[in-house]
């Protein structure tokens, strides 16, 4: 009996079975086909992967050596020499090999403590700009995300039109990434999307934006952030920017910060208080002390940190008083830490407290003064 005859007779036989059995047979065959397809796919994926790995094992260290030599040695390379050396290593300069080269370059830039002015040489020799543009144009979101980040690491601020295209993307993640990245990657109007942040910032947004602001600061293009603090209706953005004012020590917005001390949102007040400390605006010390007992814990913590930062020597009594008044162990730890770090008088006061206090309060003081307890 030929296979075809056997198969036809099998089909005929199946038709005589109850429906449920017919379904079972069809599904079982489907499961078998899927299993075999998966098995073959895994085999193909692995083969391709092993081949790439083998190639990378040989070429990666060579690419790394080449780039390190170009970037950090005194040897002068021309565009053509860089390209030819790269081609010798990877055999063919195509999308895959360029992507490998780009990854290596980004890693070197991220990991290396040494600065080099020769990154543009490699970027132009290998036509990295065009390669990143093709990644921006890719349908893969993963490649687009890579392109945003690689451009940032390499400090390439010439993708305004590409980023603008994605700043209004329907994909929320791409849209957010594009708008955040615009701050670092735009050459013309980097602050364009500051006012268009949708909803509250995530902590990741803050991490990214801070990096981008650092980059602008490095380029000398960091604008005064006060105007957004004053006008923005987005509370999370206001809180973030107030913190950044403190971080970058931007002066000239003292009045705005003092106004924010009476803001209805405790997070805004707390951020303003801490920034007053960062900017060392000691004239606000008494105002902060006056507000202490009417503020929630978040702001009280900020006040203690700020007073510790001012280190004016005027608030030791206040710190002692709130240490005695507080019922929270975490607050007591924070206050005790402020006292011990509050100049010479603070250290003396800490010793006096140690002599007078007993029980768990004394344990808190011992905890604070023990240097091997790193995180208090």
Among 56, 60, 93, 106, binds another protein (CB under 8 A): 106
Distance (Å, whole) CA 9 – CA 163: 62
Task: Please state at what angle helix 329-340 crosses helix 359-369, rounded to 10 degrees.
Answer: 50
Q: Any residues with CB less than 8 A from the CB of 302 and at least 6 apart, and which?
A: 269, 270, 271, 273, 274, 277
Interface map 304-333 toward another protein (x if CB under 8 A):
-------------------------x---x
Supply the minimum distance, in Å, between the C-beta of residue 81 and another protein: 29
Handedness of CA 53, 57, 59, 63 (dihedral sign): positive
* Per-residue contact flags (x/-) with another protein for residues 125 to 164, judged by CB under 8 A: ---------------xxx--xx--xx--x-----------
Residue 370 binding another protein, by CB under 8 A: yes
Query: How many residues form the binding site for another protein (CB under 8 A)?
Result: 56
Considering Cα of 158, then 161, then 165, then 168, what sign does the dihedral take?
positive
> In whole angstroms, what is the distance from residue 212 CA to residue 148 CA?
12
Q: How far is the CB of 43 from another protein (least distance, A)?
A: 6
Q: By C-beta, is 48 or 314 nearer to another protein? A: 48
Positions 7 through 66 that interact with another protein (CB under 8 A): 17, 20-21, 24-25, 27-28, 31-32, 34-35, 38-39, 41-43, 45-47, 49-50
- Cβ proximity to another protein: between 45 and 187 the closer is 45
CA distances from 321 to 18, 52, 283, 325 (A): 86, 67, 21, 6
User: Which 8-state DSSP code applies to residue 375?
Assistant: -
CA distances from 256 to 160, 226, 251, 286 (A): 32, 7, 11, 18
Q: Which of 210, 258, 266, 331 binds another protein (CB under 8 A)?
A: 210
Binding site for another protein (CB under 8 A): 17, 20-21, 24-25, 27-28, 31-32, 34-35, 38-39, 41-43, 45-47, 49-50, 106, 110, 140-142, 145-146, 149-150, 153, 173, 199-200, 202-204, 206-208, 210-211, 247, 329, 333, 360, 363-364, 366-367, 370, 372-376
């Amino acid at each position: 009996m030929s296979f075809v005859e056997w198969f036809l007779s099998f089909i005929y036989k199946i038709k005589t079975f109850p429906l449920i059995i017919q379904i079972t047979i069809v599904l079982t065959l489907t499961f078998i086909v899927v299993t075999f397809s998966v098995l073959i796919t895994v085999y193909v994926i692995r083969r391709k992967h092993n081949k790439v790995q083998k190639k990378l094992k040989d070429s990666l260290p060579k690419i790394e050596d080449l780039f390190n030599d170009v970037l950090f040695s005194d040897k002068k390379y021309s565009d053509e020499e860089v390209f030819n050396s790269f081609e010798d290593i990877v055999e063919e300069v195509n999308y895959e090999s360029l992507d490998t080269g780009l990854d290596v370059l980004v890693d070197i830039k991220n990991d290396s403590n040494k600065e080099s002015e020769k990154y543009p040489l490699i970027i132009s020799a290998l036509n990295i700009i065009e390669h990143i543009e093709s990644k921006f144009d890719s349908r893969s979101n993963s490649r687009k995300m890579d392109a945003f980040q690689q451009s940032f690491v390499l400090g390439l601020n010439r993708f305004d039109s590409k980023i603008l295209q994605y700043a209004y993307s329907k994909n929320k993640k791409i849209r957010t990434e594009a708008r955040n990245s615009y701050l670092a990657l735009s050459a013309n109007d980097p602050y364009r999307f500051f006012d268009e942040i949708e909803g509250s910032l995530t902590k990741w947004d803050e991490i990214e934006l801070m990096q981008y602001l650092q980059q602008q600061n490095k380029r000398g293009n960091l604008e005064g952030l006060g105007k957004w603090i004053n006008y923005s209706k987005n509370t999370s953005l206001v809180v973030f920017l107030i913190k950044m004012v403190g971080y970058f020590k931007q002066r000239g917005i003292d009045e705005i910060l003092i106004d924010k001390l009476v803001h209805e949102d405790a997070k805004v007040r707390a951020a303003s208080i801490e920034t007053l400390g960062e900017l060392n605006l000691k004239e606000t010390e008494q105002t902060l002390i006056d507000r202490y007992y009417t503020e929630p814990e978040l702001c009280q913590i900020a006040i203690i940190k700020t007073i510790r930062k001012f280190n004016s020597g005027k608030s030791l009594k206040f710190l002692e008083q709130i240490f005695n008044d507080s019922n929270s162990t975490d607050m007591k730890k924070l206050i005790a830490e402020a006292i011990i770090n509050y100049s010479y008088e603070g250290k003396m006061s800490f010793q006096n407290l140690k002599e007078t206090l007993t029980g768990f309060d004394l344990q808190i003081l011992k905890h604070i003064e023990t240097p091997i307890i790193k995180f208090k």
